[in-house]
Amino acid sequence: MTVLVRPKALGDYKARDFRMLIDGQWVAGAEGRTIERVAPGHGVVVSRYQSATKPDAERAIAAARRAFDEGPWPRMTASERSLILLRAADMIAARADELAFLDAIESGKPINQAKGELAGAVDIWRYGAALARDLSGESYNTLGDGTLGVVLREAIGVVSIITPWNFPFLIVSQKLPFALAAGCTTVVKPSELTSGSTLVLGEILEAAGVPAGVVNIIVGTGPEAGAPLTSHPDVDMVSFTGSTGVGRLTMANAAQTLKKVSLELGGKNPQIVFPDANLDEFADAAVFGAYFNAGECCNAGSRLILHRDIAEEVTARIASLSAKVKVGDPLDPETQVGAIITPQHLEKIAGYVSSAAGEGATVSHGGAALDLGMGQFMAPTILSAVRPEMAVAREEVFGPVLSVLTFETTEEAIRIANSIDYGLSAGVWSRDFDTCLTIGRRVRAGTIWTNTFMDGASELPFGGYRQSGLGRELGRHAVEDYTETKTLNMHIGQRTHWWMPR
Which residues are designated catalytic? Answer: 264
- Distance from C-alpha of 248 to C-alpha of 251, rounded to nearest angstrom: 5
The set of residues, in sequence order, having a beta carbon less than 8 Å from that of 243 and lying 6+ positions away, is 164, 265, 266, 396
As beta bridge partners, residue 21 has 26, 217
- Coil, helix or strand for 123? helix
- Distance from C-alpha of 67 to C-alpha of 205, rounded to nearest angstrom: 15
- Distance from C-alpha of 422 to C-alpha of 465, rounded to nearest angstrom: 7
- Asked whether the beta carbons of 363 and 264 are under 8 A apart, the reply is no
- Coil, helix or strand for 38? strand
Q: E strand or H helix at 89, and its extent?
A: helix 78-94
Q: What are phi and psi of 37, to 5 degrees?
A: -105, 120
The set of residues, in sequence order, having a beta carbon less than 8 Å from that of 450 and lying 6+ positions away, is 427, 428, 429, 436, 439, 440
Positive or negative, the CA dihedral 270, 276, 278, 280 is: positive
Q: What is the CA radius of gyration of the chain?
A: 24
- Distance from C-alpha of 427 to C-alpha of 474, rounded to nearest angstrom: 20
- Asked whether the beta carbons of 364 and 382 are under 8 A apart, the reply is yes
The set of residues, in sequence order, having a beta carbon less than 8 Å from that of 327 and lying 6+ positions away, is 2, 3, 4, 5, 335, 336, 337, 338, 370, 377, 379, 380
- Distance from C-alpha of 398 to C-alpha of 345, rounded to nearest angstrom: 9
Of 422, 411, 412, the closest CA to residue 387 belongs to 412
- Distance from C-alpha of 40 to C-alpha of 343, rounded to nearest angstrom: 8
DSSP 74: G
- Distance between the two ends of the chain, CA-based, in angstroms? 79
The set of residues, in sequence order, having a beta carbon less than 8 Å from that of 409 and lying 6+ positions away, is none
- Asked whether the beta carbons of 103 and 201 are under 8 A apart, the reply is no
